[in-house]
Amino acid sequence: MSQEKRTPSPGAWIAVVLAWVFPGLGHYYLGRRSRALVYAVLVTVTFVFGLSFQGRLYSPEQGAPLTLLATFAVFGSGLLNIAGRLLVENPRGAILAVTYEYGCAFLLTAGLMNLLLMLDAYDIAAGRKS
Amino acid sequence: MTVLAALFPTDHFLIMTLYALLVSIFFSVLWANERRERIRLFAKIFGALVLGGLAVAWLMYPFPK
């Protein structure tokens, strides 16, 4: 069984980068405008709830290798993550807050959602998904 | 940012339900193309997250903090 290998167009990589910059932007670029709006709202709302629940915007820490994975997940949010770090008073979160763990879960989920959107944008641009 | 959190009660079940709602809408839009299929997938994921969360909480209840 032979599999046909297609070379993705440069547009596919543009869509991936745009998808990382802001949730839904890659889909908007590919003409999936209504989906793009839904994704933008969902990921942004999840991220903002994460910040409001005083979750942590992870950075790598020595002696804690799992923070590398968490940092990768959070950086998936693109500009939201950068804006969050600049605008929020304490990007490390409030560990004593009741909602701290929830906040972390929301922030990590927002980043992972956006990473999935980047892959989805690539698949659409490469013709693997309608 | 804490204004939004202040609007939302710090109730474990409500926050878990909000999380389940956002995640299930996301995956139903990502994975399904037709409206009917989307609604079915949303119901499945939402139900699995909320009921699964309650089941795990119930199983963990006897354990000390």
Instruction: Determine contact: A40 vs chain B, CB below 8 A.
Output: no
The answer on pLDDT for A50 being more than 70 is yes
Task: Return the exposure string of A20-44: e unless at least 16 CB atoms fall within 10 Å of the residue's CB, then b.
Answer: bebbbbbbbbbebeebbebbbebbb
Q: How confident is the model at residue A113 (pLDDT cuts 50, 70, 90)?
A: very high
Instruction: Give the pLDDT confidence of A52-68 residue by residue, as tens digits.
Output: 999 999 999 898 899 99
In chain A, what residues touch B25 (CB-CB under 8 Å)? 38, 42
Instruction: Determine contact: B51 vs chain A, CB below 8 A.
Output: no
Tell me what pLDDT residue B11 has.
Answer: 85
**Residue to substitute from B23, B26, B33, interface A, most A β-carbons within 10 A:** B26
Locate the chain A residue with the closest alpha carbon to B3.
A52
CB–CB of A54 and B15 under 8 A? no
State the smallest CA–CA distance between residue A130 and chain B in angstroms.
Answer: 9
Query: What's the 3-state SS for A76-94?
Result: CCCHHHHHHHHHCCCCCCC
Instruction: Determine contact: B15 vs chain A, CB below 8 A.
Output: yes
Query: What's the 3-state SS for A30-67?
Result: CCCHHHHHHHHHHHHHHHHHHHHCCCCCCCCECCECHH
Q: How many CB pairs under 8 A join A and B?
A: 47
ipTM over 0.95: no
The per-residue pLDDT of chain A, averaged, comes to: 91
What are the residues whose beta carbons fall under 8 Å from the beta carbon of A79, sequence distance 6 or more? A21, A22
Higher pLDDT, A7 or B32: B32
Instruction: Give the pLDDT confidence of B26-51 residue by residue, as tens digits.
Output: 999 999 999 999 999 999 999 999 99
